[in-house]
Amino acid sequence: MQGDKSSKPERSMELDELLLHEEAALRRQAIDDERNMTEHELRRKLNLLVRTGAILMSSNADCNRIMRNLRRCEAFLGLPEEYVHIHLDYDIIMVNISDERHSFSKYQRCDHHVIEFTVISRVSKMLWQALREDWSLDRYEEELDALSHVPKNYTPWMIAVAAGFACGGFCVQFGCDWTAFFYASLPAILGFRLKMWLARHDINTYVAIAVSAFLATILAWLTSFLSLDPEIAASVPAFMHSATPYHPLMACTLFIVPGVPLINFVSDMVSNHVSVGATRAYTTLMMLLAMSFGIVLAIQICGIDNFVKDLSMTPHNTYFDYALAAAISAMGFSTIYNTPRRILPVLAISGIIAVCTRNFVNLGESNGNVGLDQGIIIGSFVGSALISLIATRQMVWHNIPHQVIAIPAVIPMIPGVLMYRSLFGFIEMTGVVGELTVAFNYGIKASLVILFIALGVAIPNIFVRRMIEPKSMLRLLKLVQARRTKHNEMTHLSELS
């Protein structure tokens, strides 16, 4: 009987030990489950962060804007800023979060780059709205998915017609009459529509550019016969005669000039995002070379004798003509970038201010015009700086990013003719003394104009942003603190140990 009595405590002790082991195992499993859940949530947040950056890069946002939006995104996601490391490249976005014991990384490629101002604008609004309305991760992911299917604000033919008229506006800036405006616009419309068709059928980008430039130049050359050939000129009405029949040849392909990448290239280089800026520069140069190849081939076939170097581009139009052409060009090019329709009147006015300011500072008595006669470089800088200052206020009034307003407004000031003349000069070089100097002169002048346009857009925005950044940061911190207090969703790497 005593054996039976002594065995009961032993069995009780064994049972207690077994229960303790099971409880410890369950506790360890709960910790593992919590750690796995935390790790899974962390990886999900990193995925959302890197996707946001990839969408902005693919939409051709400048690197400063991408970094600002990613910092807001990491604040919304509850990621500790001191542990988050972001690297931007033109073709890939890399994000890492790490401390002394942990490291998690996420990469995403950016295979397609299309200028999408609507997407850039929506991302900025979406992040502020997510913080203000306390979105869940599921809601944010749904909105992020929707950005992949943003509809076009304009039909393909609407874009082609608007881009064509934008080239006609460029032609007026060079000094053509309004008859030549239409002779530059029609070839540009058909050339741009062909480029869109080739892109839709996955034809190489540079091949599509060369082919569309070739077609546009041939068509512009054919329109010159309406004014230059006596028999044809006699058979058409007088209003179809142009006093500047060769000007359309210089403007009909300027829908190809990549104004946004050019400005972003300089902005990124100045902001120390050298690798992205350099890649944008190489891409731009390849596009210009492809365009020049198509134009030169058309000129050789048509037998046009060196009109590029001899044709005067000094305008002698009225400022009303400049203003109307600038408005047409600013709105026309903005449709290529899928700019929201509601902002088109703002862009028209902004384009008028930028171009007329540039022309007033640039032109003067030395070339038979009214103005300060300070040259195209200073004129371009003053015009772009002024419109950038105006855009810093308009972006608040219209709740739209600075880039969406400022860049389309200064696109009509891009020196497409100077770039084209420089490349054409190198291609057509025959060894005559002075040819190299002329080609370099055009190239250096074009580069300086682009540099000063980009600086004019960037510098006022940088200074104004520094003034408003503290208020923006305070607003962001308040929203983040309210979100953390409500949900305590801050991710701590120590929880993964």
Asked if residues 302 and 252 have their Cβ atoms less than 8 Å apart, the reply is no
Is the pLDDT assigned to residue 191 strictly greater than 90? Answer: yes
Is the pLDDT assigned to residue 487 strictly greater than 70? Answer: no
28: its two tokens: 């360890």
Is the pLDDT assigned to residue 169 strictly greater than 70? Answer: yes
Residue 308: what pLDDT?
Answer: 53
The 10s digit of each residue's pLDDT in 351-379 is: 999 999 998 898 888 777 777 888 888 99
Residue 202: what pLDDT?
Answer: 87
Residue 190: what pLDDT?
Answer: 95
Q: How far apart are CA 208 and CA 195, in angstroms?
A: 6
Is the pLDDT assigned to residue 44 strictly greater than 50? Answer: yes
Is the pLDDT assigned to residue 134 strictly greater than 60? Answer: yes
The 10s digit of each residue's pLDDT in 393-438 is: 777 787 788 788 888 888 888 776 777 677 777 777 776 667 778 7
Is the pLDDT assigned to residue 324 strictly greater than 50? Answer: yes
1: its two tokens: 């009987």
79: left (phi over 0), alpha (psi -120 to 50) or beta: beta
β-bridge partners, 104: 97
Average pLDDT over the chain, rounded to whole? Answer: 81
Q: Band the pLDDT of 14: cuts 50, 70, 90.
A: low
Is the pLDDT assigned to residue 482 strictly greater than 80? Answer: no
Percent of the chain with pLDDT over 70: 81
* Domain segments of the chain as ranges: 39-151, 156-474
The 10s digit of each residue's pLDDT in 274-307 is: 899 899 988 888 888 888 888 888 888 877 765 5
Percent of the chain with pLDDT over 90: 22
**Neighbour tally for 1: CB within 10 Å:** 5
Is the pLDDT assigned to residue 226 strictly greater than 70? Answer: yes
Q: Band the pLDDT of 486: cuts 50, 70, 90.
A: low
Pick from 61-75, 125-139, 157-171, 459-473: least confident:
459-473
Q: Band the pLDDT of 328: cuts 50, 70, 90.
A: very high
Q: Can you give the chain as a three-state secondary structure string?
A: CHHHHHHHHHHHHHHHHHHHHHHHHHHHHHHHHHHHHHHHHHHHHHHHHHHHHHHHHHCCCCHHHHHHHHHHHHHHHCCCHHHEEEEECCCEEEEEEECCCCEEEEEEECCCCCCCHHHHHHHHHHHHHHHHCCCCHHHHHHHHHHHHHCCCCCCHHHHHHHHHHHHHHHHHHHCCCHHHHHHHHHHHHHHHHHHHHHHHCCCCHHHHHHHHHHHHHHHHHHHHHHHHCHHHHHHCCHHHCCCCCCHHHHHCCCCCCCHHHHHHHHHHHHCCCHHHHHHHHHHHHHHHHHHHHHHHHHHHHHCCCCHHHHCCCCCCCCHHHHHHHHHHHHHHHHHHCCCCHHHHHHHHHHHHHHHHHHHHHHCCHHHCCCCCCCCHHHHHHHHHHHHHHHHHHHHHHCCCCHHHHHHHHHHHHCCHHHHHHHHHHHHCCCCCCCHHHHHHHHHHHHHHHHHHHHHHHHHHHHHHHHHHHHHHHHHHHHHHHHHHHHHCCCCCHHHHC
Is the pLDDT assigned to residue 204 strictly greater than 70? Answer: yes
- Contacts of residue 411, defined as CB under 8 A and 6 or more positions apart, other chains included, come to 259, 260, 329, 330, 333
Residue 463: what pLDDT?
Answer: 67
Is the pLDDT assigned to residue 331 strictly greater than 50? Answer: yes
- Contacts of residue 244, defined as CB under 8 A and 6 or more positions apart, other chains included, come to 175, 176, 177, 180
Residue 488: what pLDDT?
Answer: 55
Rounded average pLDDT over 49-67? 91
